[in-house]
Amino acid sequence: MKRVSAAVFPAALVWSAALACVQPAQGAVGRGTEWSRVYPAALESVFLAAAAVPYGGAVLGGFRQDDTDAHGWPVVGDAWIVRIGADGEVAWEARLAGRKGDAVMALAGTSDGGFLVGGITGSRDGDFAREGGEKLAPWVAGLDVDGKTRWLRVLPGSGDSHPFMYALGETPGGGVAALTVGDLPGPGNGCSGKGVVFWRISANGADVSRACPGLSFEPSLDYSWAVMPDGGAAAAYSDGGRARVALMSPEGKLVWDVDTGGDSASAVCPLPGGGLAVGGTGPGGRPRLFALGPDGSLVWESDLEDSGQGWIKTIAALPDGLFAAGDTPGAVEGTYNMMAVRTFPDGRVAWSAEAGGSGLEETAAATCLKDGGCVAVWATLSRDGDLAVPGGEPAPEGGNGRYQAWALKFKP
């Protein structure tokens, strides 16, 4: 995760959402893309997370706003999960809701074919029923292969700051590892002030423990987190205008925290052979993509000099390299297009591409499918160009208008 426009996501906490059956609208197909689809809501919709499905396709998550929510309550926002096939068509969708705003921010598959889903809630009722507690809280849920909720757990106190759920993953023992950032939930385990909380949750959601590795900063969707194969975690973030990357053990202890240069680090992904792929921005506002070894040392850095200005916001690993996506300035001032880069294992660029319309496109997450194609998601204000939909109208210049969730699949 993921650099997300602050003007959009916090508003979801008081938004309304209801879910009619989503009918994705097929957009134009640009260079290097297989399909482009918009998944509209009556008012607004946004994807914030994506995870590939071993048996094909992907599961996407975020929030949507219609006239009423899953329970028929007005003026609330629903956490939204959509399972798509490799062709972008909807296989099923699910939502979780209370009377306030709720959203999905992280997704991961489980070994039995189900899913882990996590996010943020402002509700205390409906699917997020809880006694008292803070205004905003992170939550984690387990879903089966058909999107039915097995269990849901609202995690304890997170204060008034946005308790962002950054990453989820299944641990080797079958439990759950989750990372949140916000007001730390009281004393104990080294937790105080604001910073990172490393949660360990049992496979059925019944037992919860936490550790605070000592990374303290304000919550921001400019940062990225990943659960490692051993159950530990990695973080890419910025401190004082410097890009930093940290590694945490399965017990939630800080292993290392290194200054990697550059202006920001906003994407991180475990590499199949060990180490981390990291993305962000470098000198001159250009996108930056590089790899670190298991000890945090620099292994390689891609040459993205021809990519223009922009930043890498999400990375997905493939057996033969990386897929990275982010944003780059659009032709209209104040707008952005989506950029994508495919690399070989040593960081050499295989190809790069750009997609968008006359409005604002931003990228939040990406995942690579069983067929080798990769899907990038977030939201769009465009109704033309690569986001053209039947009957759509171009968004006003400058990016004003309503966001709609979109996904774009790049060819292998």
Residue 242 to residue 109: CA distance in whole angstroms = 32
Task: Supply the pLDDT for residue 41.
Answer: 82
Inform me whether the pLDDT recorded for 127 exceeds 70: yes
The residue count of the chain comes to: 412
Task: Supply the pLDDT for residue 202.
Answer: 93
Inform me whether the pLDDT recorded for 264 exceeds 90: no
Task: Supply the pLDDT for residue 21.
Answer: 38
Task: Supply the pLDDT for residue 348.
Answer: 93
Inform me whether the pLDDT recorded for 78 exceeds 50: yes
Inform me whether the pLDDT recorded for 67 exceeds 60: yes
Residue 177 to residue 251: CA distance in whole angstroms = 10
Rounded to the nearest integer, the mean pLDDT of the chain is 80
Residue 304: band (very low, low, confident or very high) from pLDDT cuts 50, 70, 90: confident
User: Which of 62-76, 177-191, 310-324 tops mean pLDDT?
Assistant: 310-324
Whether 194 contacts 141, CB under 8 Å? no
pTM: 0.86
Return the minimum-mean-pLDDT range out of 96-100, 293-297, 404-408: 96-100
Give the pLDDT confidence of 178-221 residue by residue, as tens digits.
888 766 555 544 565 567 888 899 999 999 888 888 886 665 65
Which amino acid is residue 245, in one-letter code?
A: V
Task: Supply the pLDDT for residue 395.
Answer: 46
Give the pLDDT confidence of 323-359 residue by residue, as tens digits.
999 988 877 777 788 889 999 999 999 988 888 777 6
Return the minimum-mean-pLDDT range out of 140-144, 180-184, 231-235: 180-184
Task: Supply the pLDDT for residue 38.
Answer: 87
- In the chain, where the domains are located: 10-258+328-334+356-410
CA-wise closest residue to 327 among 240, 270, 267: 267
Select the CATH number that applies to the domain covering 10-258+328-334+356-410 from these four: 2.120.10, 1.10.10, 1.10.1060, 2.60.40.
2.120.10
Task: Supply the pLDDT for residue 31.
Answer: 52
Task: Supply the pLDDT for residue 359.
Answer: 67
409 versus 158: which is more confidently predicted?
409
Residue 121 to residue 134: CA distance in whole angstroms = 10
Give the pLDDT confidence of 367-386 residue by residue, as tens digits.
999 999 999 998 887 777 76
Q: Angle 331-379-219 (CA atoms, 0-180°, nearest 5)?
A: 105
Whether 80 contacts 91, CB under 8 Å? no
